[in-house]
Amino acid sequence: MAQPALKHDVFQAIADPTRRRMLKLLADREMPIASISDCFPITRTAVNKHLHVLLDAGLVSRKKAGRETRYKLQPAPLSEIKEWLSFFEEYWDDKLSALKQFVESDSE
């Protein structure tokens, strides 16, 4: 019995700098794979593999338009990352406040 393909998690998908650049590239517009490939110094096959990771994580969508496949950013899954980071903002704020107090008290 064949097992269903495993979906990539959002954190794994954005771990690669090339995929992060692809997400930025697709933030403003839908693009065909040929145009995306022109923006990277890697093969079209490698670009396609990166896009599949992003697709499996739900970060991009694709649609056929004639003979080309077009990709578009789907930002909703990024909220998982935002929520995770927001948990740690409290710690960053505390540390920055402590540093500010230290610096200000040291100058007196």
Alpha helix positions (H), the chain: 10-14, 17-26, 33-38, 44-56, 78-106
Q: Are residues 86 and 64 in the same domain?
A: no
Q: Are residues 46 and 85 in the same domain?
A: no
Question: By residue range, what is the domain housing residue 8?
Answer: 1-74
- Separation between Cα atoms, residue 57 and residue 61, nearest integer Å: 10
pTM over 0.75: yes
Residues 6 or more apart from 84 whose CB is under 8 A from it?
Answer: 11
Task: Work out the end-to-end distance of the chain between its first and last CA atoms, rounded to an integer number of angstroms.
Answer: 73
Q: How many domains, the chain?
A: 2
Residue 69 phi, psi (nearest 5): -105, 130
- Residue 9: CATH number of its domain: 1.10.10.10
Tens of each residue's pLDDT in the chain, 108 residues: 444 454 779 999 999 999 999 999 999 999 999 999 999 999 999 999 999 999 999 999 999 999 999 999 999 999 999 998 888 887 777 777 888 888 888 655
Q: Are residues 82 and 67 in the same domain?
A: no
Q: Are residues 38 and 65 in the same domain?
A: yes
- Separation between Cα atoms, residue 28 and residue 80, nearest integer Å: 21
